[in-house]
Structure 1
């Protein structure tokens, strides 16, 4: 035997991917079972899960504030521009708006029927409509409705009943007392079902606040790029309800914004009305004063003197009147801004101020105030967007105040200068009577008040026109579009998920078993780690458990165990390479239960099929497993021969105990000093005589390493067969076998791998499995029972 070998640097080689794949594929039955289980589960979930539909529409935000600009006033940090679209989205997602929309559609009342495992929503298609007259709005209500024909219904399964009560039989269009309160049930004229439909319908009324959370969680609003266009999507179990929800959401929102604009118009109208009443009173007083002066002057023409001087003063006077009119408006605005009680009210706009910078920032302030008020109605004041709007409002109000002060100061300077010029002109007319000067002053007051009065009347009409032309804030570009096909659940996705999990779980478990299992299972585990020759593989068979004898091979057998021993026998012939002196074959192992005795007996029987003379020698003096395989008495054995020189070899050889063609040397009795007996020269003499009589002497030795017996017996051994039991011996013991082989401690050491399970795995094998020779090998134990489908599935 050639002992030149290369000891591998690593005792454990990395697992080959192809081998792992073969290992996994060999367990295809578990994959099939797992896929059937998980695929069936997800198919069941698919049929049980309600369908979900999507409805989407595109809208555009229309706001006048997008065009507001001012050459004099700078918006603080462009806060308004940055929060505009986000503010609109937040308002559309507000709880108050959603609450009003649900209430308008009665979307919190649902009608459902069972279709197999799945529940179907009957929104607007239920044959009956239920009105809950006095139900608690904060408590969920539920019952089952079934038509009995002839306008009669059966009500049962009420939500607040602890025990199932007797069903109620009621009539249509009648107020009925039920355990959940009074209800009225009427036919639905829009239903596609007949009124006398007999299938049960589950009616439920959910608190609106609970439905607000449901619809808000299913509502998605996305801004398209950087424009004021929003894509709104609603998911629901009813395609019709999803479409109506997003459609009516915009309708309710536009109604709210229109009401806000009307409120602003009403505030402005009230302000103009109050100012007109005040001016009318003042103008009446001035006109009465003029009338009195003319009466007291007895018709004197006050314009007959100083015509030229007053001509100059009138020009200054006209300019000052115009400015004083503006000052009046600005002062009124100043008083309103300084009034703390009106700080959170809208500031009247479009009041006729010449300075458009003030008008534009007031319009911007009012728009932002309305948005802030709508947000605080449905959200906390701690909302970041609300706080940003409050900051912007304070900054804008401060800007308005500063602008008013600046404009008022400028007007006063202009009026003072004009008055100085006017007074200079009047001074040149000192010769004019005092009454003439008084008349001019009164006429000037009359002129100012007349112009202001006419101006306010014009503004009142403009405000009325603006109120009549109030427009929506949001315009629908693409109306709600709903597909009649559900997007969830998807049968293909469910089955794919089931198949994926069905593949993943067995793979994970099998790989975990593969990684945690350090036992030797296949010849590859040996060949990849050590260089000790492997002379054979004995396959595992469940039929061995039921065998009546330890001899399981047949001379003409075609089973895989018999064939395995033929290969083992052939490989032993190659090891001897024609050397007929190598007759003693010793079996040993590391572990008890490795199958030494089984291998010894069946190898011996296999050799007899070649007409070889074979004797089995039991040198396991401590246990004597080989000697216990037969019920026939064998009173004298090896211990007697080794301890008593009077005993001859013929006395310890028994025939027909194991097989008709095999002789056996038993141990005799359990010896108290087996080491001393094995060291005896009579052991050498025994094997000399046995070699003269037999072609093969097969020795059943004790396990190696437990006691010194195995090392002692090695002196009479020609070939040592180290039996490794697949699934029993740890791979970490392989280096110890390599050391024995490298040091030559055991003569002509070779490994026999016993109990290999080829049928349940392809990992580590070479694809033959003793079934690939074309002989149709079974196990060779006669007629076998036909396996059931489940036995085939489980590989049993």
Structure 2
């Protein structure tokens, strides 16, 4: 239990909670000031709180395969599983490339501003006009244009140019450039719908609606392109529910319609991009067929013309009927030969392409040349899918990402499979081609037996049939590819598009700012009070003395405004006088009780000057004298004498004169005007006060005075500054050590504690001086030391009358701002 009390006392010595509370009370004005400033700032900030809107959309990512064809027989193929599609879609939505496409399409780098009292708001789709920037030319960057609607047809643009050049930005080429501008204020009128072609502005401004309100003014400018793109990259997107192929897209911002347009356009662009990638195989095939059809059509026209010309010049129509069997058989063989050659050429081209190219997304379908082998078609489809997947991931991942190494391994493995299939197919096709050559040679040998004119006719007829057949095959393949393209659907499907359903936005609770303001307003004074308490090294209450020293407190003397130190004489019924009477009574308990009679010597000292030694000495001597005791007050502070001022006498003769044998004891004793009280002044300041105090003559002086007086009060120098007081202490029966509230530092008590511990001073007690408790420390004068009636003695004392309210307020303010 004792250890716990010691620990509490130790903590109390480190941080005084009561002192902390009192510091808080003293800083009441700072509380009001800080809270007032904080609440004012909170009110100002609340004016800038904007409404935040949220827009969202639901889309589905599915594996929408073409229902008319399979991956082995058509121009479509499987792009990967649904899980991979969802992951890829999320990455695409948050990618820079995708954000660029949406920002470009919506021209979100154009900012529409409505001026407000406290802040400007985003007026996208709230203005009666829309600005369409010409992306092929540079625009003035960052500077606002003010647009004023004059009437239904005209508007006025104005701005200010501080210099002859200004910054511009080319949104098509994504680069900055310098523009020449007319220096100073610029203003010009235009018509809605007219193209504006200026060195610093190239745009079309159109009305939104048939009738618009006139006289309104708005601002618009062309802002930071990449800043806008990066802002929309932060679109929130997540599966809903978790793990499903349904994605929830959401955005928050200050303009609801801008959010809605971005989300919906973002979905459209992704849907369109997915369909374009899905149709890429068919589109490249159609393009290849179209280029082949051009050549084949020319060949067909030529062979048809050759046949007509030959018929006009020759009379071999009967021979045509007679030898049609030869021609039919040879045409069939040559069509087969051409088909085989096309396949061989496709394989050669495919092999060369795979070895020399890295982008495999534009390979033509094997079915274009009649290759129906499932292994070849499937391998090419997988190769294109992997290549497309690699391209999609390139804008979202680092080039050294592990996924690229895995995709490249799969691509190389499929290429090896294709090489093996090509080698095997070439071997089979070459054998079939050799067999066809033998059959063709056999029929040609029979044809050669016919007349030359018939042979020529059959050759022309056969060429015409071959060209016509090839043309029909290409047309058939093109129709198939276009049918597949038309039947393809995107893997992205919008379930719920973003829409303004009339719901309001959300505003951050303005009360939060006031709460924060209150906390900050309270925290600053509290922190200051805490710092002041930690740094406060002064003694403030008798309790502080009890914590810092084992020496007892014999009395507490309050604070009283009086022109002199003679308070006991002038106001004998005051609380101050009662305090000294209490000290007088308490001194009887600490004297040496060997004799009930004889003179008593009381030394009054302190740590430093200014703690009230002279004040205490004079008034203590006064209470002894007023009680009928012969009392002598001796000023032994030879360095800084003070007593003479209060009694209105000159300090021309005193202790210093006696100690140097310039006069007798009778010469230095002077009356005070108070019955039974005499004084001995310090006298002129000597050059060697310590030596004089230590002299034998000083002891003889005190011993002689003891014979003539009942009480001798010694006003000595500060114990903490000079050694004189220790020399005088051996003549004293009791020592009073003055501690002044808010003036004496706690560390000063260490000196007297050490001397008390070593026994250098006997019968030592503390007197707590200049104590002011009202509204500050909570101690009444009835503290328990037996020195009077205390705060409850109203009516028995002659204290000062209560001052007026204004005077008391002035005193409080003065006490706050006055340094210690």
Common fold by TM > 0.5: yes
Where in structure 2 are the equivalents of 1:313-712 lying within 5 Å?
Answer: 330-331=347-348, 333-338=350-355, 340=357, 343=359, 346-349=362-365, 351=367, 353-356=371-374, 358-360=376-378, 362-367=380-385, 369-370=387-388, 384=398, 391=405, 394-412=408-426, 459-480=477-498, 487=506, 489-537=508-556, 547-551=562-566, 555=571, 572=587, 575=590, 583-604=600-621, 614-644=631-661, 647-649=664-666, 651-656=668-673, 663-679=678-694, 683-684=698-699, 686-687=701-702, 696-712=711-727
Distance 1:83 1:613, change over 3 A: farther
Determine the C-alpha separation between the residues in 2 that align with 1:370 and 1:776.
100
Among 745, 767, 771, the residue aligned to 2:760: 745
- Deviation, 1:745, is 0.9
What's the CA shift for 1:235?
3.5
What is the alpha-carbon distance in structure 2 between the residues aligned to residue 255 and residue 146 of structure 1?
38
How many residues are matched? 748
Superposed displacement of residue 36, structure 1? 2.6
Q: Is the 8 A contact 1:637 1:669 kept in 2?
A: yes
Contact 1:239 1:484 in 2 (8 A): no
- Structure 2 counterpart of 1:206: 222
Could you say which structure has the greater relative contact order, defined with CA pairs below 8 angstroms and 6 or more residues apart? 1
Note if contact 2:720-2:748 (Cα within 8 Å) is conserved in structure 1. Answer: no
- Tell me the TM-score normalized by structure 2: 0.71
User: Where in structure 2 are there 5+ consecutive unaligned residues?
Assistant: 165-181, 308-315, 327-331, 450-458, 784-788
Measure the CA separation in 1 of the matches of 2:233 and 2:587. Answer: 77
Who is 2:88 aligned against? Answer: 84
CA distance in 2, matches of 1:508, 1:694: 56
CA deviation vs aligned residue, 1:704-728 (integer Å, no higher than 9, x gap): 2543321111122122122234555
The alpha carbon displacement at 1:218 in A equals: 5.8
By how many angstroms is 1:491 displaced?
A: 1.7
Shift of 1:746: 1.0
Which residues in structure 2 correspond to 1:198-277 (within 5 Å)?
A: 201=217, 203-209=219-225, 211-213=227-229, 215-216=231-232, 219-222=235-238, 225-261=242-278, 263-274=280-291
Q: How far apart, in 1, do the equivalents of 2:572 and 2:40 lie? A: 48
Moved more, 242-251 or 48-57: 48-57
Q: TM-score, normalised by structure 1?
A: 0.72
Q: Structure 1 residues 253 and 677, CA, compared in 2 at 3 Å: closer, same or farther? A: same
Question: Structure 1 pair 737/59, CA: closer, same or farther in 2 (3 Å)?
Answer: farther
* Aligned-pair CA distance for 1:624: 0.9
Task: Report Cα offsets for 1:344-384 as digits up to 9, x if no partner.
Answer: 652234737544455445445445555665777xx69xx50
Separation in 1, partners of 2:131, 2:472: 59
1: distance between equivalents of 2:183 and 2:647? Answer: 75
Q: Which residue of 1 aligns with 2:47?
A: 47
Give the C-alpha shift of residue 619 in structure 1.
0.7
SS at match of 1:502: helix
Instruction: State how far apart, in whole Å, the 1-side matches of 2:600 and 2:615 are.
Output: 19
Maintained 8 Å contact 2:24/2:529: no
CA contact (8 A) 2:78 2:381 kept: no
Q: Confirm or deny: 8 A CA contact 2:278 2:488 kept in the other structure.
A: yes
Alignment correspondent of 2:126 = 125
**Which secondary structure does the structure 1 equivalent of 2:805 belong to?**
coil
- Superposed displacement of residue 535, structure 1: 3.1
Distance of 1:228 and 1:669 partners within structure 2: 105
Query: How far off its partner does 1:31 sit?
Result: 3.5
2:103 counterpart (92, 99, 103): 99
Q: CA offset at residue 666 of structure 1?
A: 1.3
Find the residue that maps to 1:45 and give its secondary structure.
helix
Map 1:757-796; keep pairs closer than 5 Å.
773=791, 780-787=799-806, 796=816
1:539-558, CA deviations, whole angstroms, 9 ceiling, x for partnerless residues?
6x7x85xx533356774777
Which residues of 2 match residues 147-162 of structure 1 at below 5 A? Answer: 158=160, 160=162
- In structure 2, C-alpha distance between the alignment counterparts of 1:388 and 1:83, rounded to whole Å: 16
Cα distance change, pair 458–607 in 1 and its aligned pair in 2 (3 A):
farther
Classify the secondary structure of the residue corresponding to 1:623: coil
Equivalents in 2 of 1:746, 1:614: separation in Å? 23
How far does residue 533 in structure 1 lie from its aligned partner after superposition?
1.6
| Gap change, CA 1:614 and 1:449, over 3 Å in 2 | farther
Q: Is the 8 A contact 2:23 2:533 kept in 1?
A: no
Instruction: Quote how far apart the aligned CAs of 1:125 are.
Output: 2.5
**Which residue of 2 is the match for residue 34 of structure 1?**
34
CA distance in 2, matches of 1:779, 1:396: 107
CA RMSD after TM alignment: 6.0
Displacement, 1:618?
A: 1.0
CA deviations over 1:4-38 (Å, ceiling 9, x no partner): xx999998866358547635643552344323323
State the Cα distance separating 1:591 from its structure 2 match: 2.0
Partner secondary structure for residue 116 of structure 2: strand
Structure 1 equivalent of residue 144 of structure 2 = 142
Bigger mean CA deviation after superposition, 730-739 or 446-455: 446-455
Q: Decide whether aligned partners of structure 1 residues 399 and 132 sit closer, same or farther in structure 2, where only a CA change above 3 A counts.
A: closer
- Is contact 2:23-2:529 (8 Å) kept? yes
* Kept in 1: contact 2:605–2:738 (CA 8 A): yes
Cα deviation for residue 655 of structure 1 reads 0.9
Kindly indicate whether the alpha-carbon contact (under 8 Å) linking 1:153 and 1:170 is maintained by their aligned counterparts in 2: yes
Q: Could you tell me whether the CA contact under 8 Å between 1:53 and 1:485 is conserved in 2?
A: yes
Q: For residues 169-180 of structure 1, what are the structure 2 equivalents within 5 Å?
A: 173=192
